[in-house]
Structure 1
């Protein structure tokens, strides 16, 4: 049942955006430090490290649609998704710290198994928060442009979080090592600080649901679910089928999802390669300046993408951001012949485009949810966000998997803590290709699915007008 549009309050925007402090951190750190932690501190071969990434993301693809469907059921029966978000906020810090608590001296295979199990639990806890969090914009606001405003604020916070975590995590590790600690202790300290930030940010964001536009009241056990929203009692397999039926049924959602997953794969590949480019190609002490060159432009131009989308539409602005990012990534292949600090220029251009790649598809996602509610009935926002989160996390992590395969094929030499080696020229070329050509190709391929996205501003405005229209009055009594 459609509900009238409501104004987007500043407090709602702020509390929702705060959640991206944590989502940006967890989205950044595994791709940035987990692979190099396994290959350069635990002595795990790139092939085994990549396998651990792959297994964990296969689990995400399975669990996220189930969490989304359960979140929809909770919304229908109790009027809230919040309990999932709070549970994820509490559990994630514990399991994230365990991921980086591998005892020194364990054999590489046992170390890889430890990381895999702990990271599987951390990823599950993150999904408990992230899936309902992604579903909320469709319930917070109706307007095509207001959704862009809500998600633009989130992306500004997200880029700040990526900068803070991406630049700060290596600095915390280095600080511990410089003061006499081991690399193992440095990673553990980094994880503890990050876990505390996750907890605070997620708990703040979990309060935003009280401002959700959908007016629902809890239903008593055994009573009918909220009007228009089914809450069937089904197992994990049925929830999984429901998630993928949403992909099959909604062409706008399917086109947007495929585009976003391909781009997450490209971004995850570049993110995993940052530490290797800094250490093995440029021989830098850290990654802080690389992250500054990426994130500073993103923070500056995020509001600009909102303006551009209002002028030409979200889908055209999204296409422009994709092309800019692809061209910037492709130009970095010149590092093979001319390694140097000139790369900060293309990285800055990629950062400006990255702001659009984050804010625009997330602003388009609630539009696909609203369109699906109009054409197939309400009640699948959590299902959509579950599949979306599975695709995003899988894409980001499979980027690390692709890089690990490239490193293994090109002869990268793994090391343990405090050990240094000179990588062969073939491995250096592999690092650069994984940081440039392969992400660029993925970006350009994503334009094919983006071209099939059909929704425009007029379509969403029509849905809002329909929601605001008063019900037809009863015929007068003779």
Structure 2
């Protein structure tokens, strides 16, 4: 159905109740679990448990996310045109979120089919289904802030809760998933881990749906024209385009690091339990410093804050290149520095995205928020998918030896590939992204003027 009319179903005020901020942020429990656990566990599951060659494992990890790149703008368009008393976004949180949880559990539940090809096909099918459901959950979820508040600074405060909960979820899910797998052992370990994480996703889905029930739902008429025409308009929005390019490159960097955690811990540091420590080091600083990044952004501006956060992340990644020769404590410290930067690299772009979408709505009088968000999440998905794929290519070039649950001694070339994929590659990608970020021009005054015209 098409959304019609220009009257908001709610009036987005300058400040949101804390309950709404927390309720919205709780959706990051679902996005954090799905965004983290496959990036961390799926490649080792394929190479070390199912015995699939690293290159082919990379293809399996990448293909469903590549499909998502095409699907996300469609999900945005559909949510833009959804008519529901709860608003165009909230119904999709439950519809797609519960489907996501079920498909996610099945990804890691491959039965013993006696054929690596059949087992790989099982993983691929259910990962495609999970990725499809995720598109219809994530796109409406990320689109909501632009319609919940008209305040430039309130969006940053809203993102503070979201990123804080996201950081906590990443830490708990990323740290506990390997522990659950190792405690049970073998394929059953992956199966139990999948069910536990699917339950976590359900908690996030229902919390976000319930917690935003009293949130304002501002709306203008859905954009006219075909999806292709709207995508062309979005592509012509220069500030959005350069911000998206920056974020995609950094998502690629993050994807590389996530994919490398298990390999760095087990093969380079020599202890699989170190993967949990690495995750705590990565996310712990984000839990503490996310409010500090928000305060800094209010003082110096979102763009400058984003640049500083990116430099901190890159510095931490470069320090991790010493993993093969330095004590583990140095690697943990480097990962903690990455975590400090990562917190800011989530807060700022996610607060800048609704600014770009809102300026477009104010200029045109048409609501393309879902399309903007669909393109954004498509880019993020592509980056996070390419990260493990790039890391898998590095493993293949380094001569990494796949196994089926057996202990295998890796050659030095493979250990070098793991280290470089975890450190130098992400650092270079992050620094490269700053070339686009420097071209971003929207500031608080411009956004406020556009919002004032829209809500006058």
Superposition TM-score, scaled by structure 1 size: 0.90
Is 1:411 aligned to residue 389 of structure 2?
no
Aligned counterpart, 2:314: 326
| Aligned-partner Cα distance in 1 for 2:229–2:390 | 29
Is 1:103 aligned to residue 111 of structure 2?
yes
Q: Report Cα offsets for 1:361-406 as digits up to 9, x if no partner.
A: 0011110011111223321111111111111111112100000000
Question: Could you say if the C-alpha distance between residues 37 and 137 of structure 1 is closer, same or farther in structure 2, counting changes exceeding 3 Å?
Answer: same
Question: Could you say if the C-alpha distance between residues 93 and 228 of structure 1 is closer, same or farther in structure 2, counting changes exceeding 3 Å?
Answer: closer
Question: Could you say if the C-alpha distance between residues 243 and 196 of structure 1 is closer, same or farther in structure 2, counting changes exceeding 3 Å?
Answer: farther
Deviation at 1:229, TM superposition (A): 2.7
| Aligned-partner Cα distance in 1 for 2:80–2:156 | 23
Is 1:447 aligned to residue 434 of structure 2?
yes
Is 1:40 aligned to residue 48 of structure 2?
yes
Aligned counterpart, 2:3: none
Is 1:421 aligned to residue 424 of structure 2?
no
Q: Report Cα offsets for 1:171-221 as digits up to 9, x if no partner.
A: 1112212xxxxx1111111111111111121122123554343356xxxxx
The DSSP-based 3-state class of the residue aligned with 1:455 is coil
Aligned counterpart, 2:272: 285
Which of 16, 19, 26 is equivalent to 1:18?
Answer: 26
| Aligned-partner Cα distance in 1 for 2:442–2:271 | 45
Deviation at 1:330, TM superposition (A): 1.2
The DSSP-based 3-state class of the residue aligned with 1:211 is coil
The DSSP-based 3-state class of the residue aligned with 1:128 is helix
Which of 82, 87, 90 is equivalent to 2:90?
Answer: 82
Aligned counterpart, 1:229: 222
Question: Could you say if the C-alpha distance between residues 466 and 134 of structure 1 is closer, same or farther in structure 2, counting changes exceeding 3 Å?
Answer: same
The DSSP-based 3-state class of the residue aligned with 2:319 is helix
Question: Could you say if the C-alpha distance between residues 242 and 32 of structure 1 is closer, same or farther in structure 2, counting changes exceeding 3 Å?
Answer: farther
> Bigger shift: 408-417 or 92-101?
92-101
Which of 351, 364, 368 is equivalent to 1:363?
Answer: 351
Deviation at 1:456, TM superposition (A): 0.6
| Aligned-partner Cα distance in 1 for 2:192–2:222 | 45
Deviation at 1:141, TM superposition (A): 0.9
Aligned counterpart, 1:309: 297
| 8 Å CA contact retained: 2:94, 2:205 | yes
Is 1:206 aligned to residue 209 of structure 2?
yes
Aligned counterpart, 2:421: 434
Is 1:189 aligned to residue 177 of structure 2?
no
Stretches of structure 1 that go unaligned for 5 or more consecutive residues are 178-182, 217-226, 233-237, 470-478
Which of 372, 375, 378 is equivalent to 1:390?
Answer: 378
Which of 63, 72, 82 is equivalent to 2:80?
Answer: 72
Aligned counterpart, 1:342: 330
Is 1:458 aligned to residue 445 of structure 2?
yes
The DSSP-based 3-state class of the residue aligned with 2:81 is helix
Stretches of structure 2 that go unaligned for 5 or more consecutive residues are 1-5
Q: Considering only aligned residues, what root-mean-square deviation do their CA atoms show, in Å?
A: 1.8
Is 1:299 aligned to residue 287 of structure 2?
yes
| Aligned-partner Cα distance in 1 for 2:156–2:188 | 42
Aligned counterpart, 1:133: 141
| 8 Å CA contact retained: 1:46, 1:405 | yes
Deviation at 1:131, TM superposition (A): 0.6
| 8 Å CA contact retained: 2:39, 2:259 | yes
Aligned counterpart, 1:112: 120
| 8 Å CA contact retained: 1:93, 1:196 | yes
| Aligned-partner Cα distance in 2 for 1:229–1:391 | 22
Which of 145, 164, 176 is equivalent to 2:184?
Answer: 176
Which structure's CA Rg is the greater one? 1
Aligned counterpart, 1:473: none
| Aligned-partner Cα distance in 2 for 1:196–1:106 | 29
Would you say how many aligned residue pairs link Structure 1 and Structure 2? 447
The DSSP-based 3-state class of the residue aligned with 1:198 is helix
| Aligned-partner Cα distance in 1 for 2:233–2:256 | 28
| 8 Å CA contact retained: 1:5, 1:467 | no
| 8 Å CA contact retained: 1:330, 1:436 | yes
Q: Report Cα offsets for 1:69-98 as digits up to 9, x if no partner.
A: 011011599842222221112211211111
Is 1:261 aligned to residue 251 of structure 2?
no
| Aligned-partner Cα distance in 1 for 2:389–2:60 | 9
| 8 Å CA contact retained: 2:315, 2:337 | no
| Aligned-partner Cα distance in 1 for 2:229–2:133 | 21
Superposition TM-score, scaled by structure 2 size: 0.94
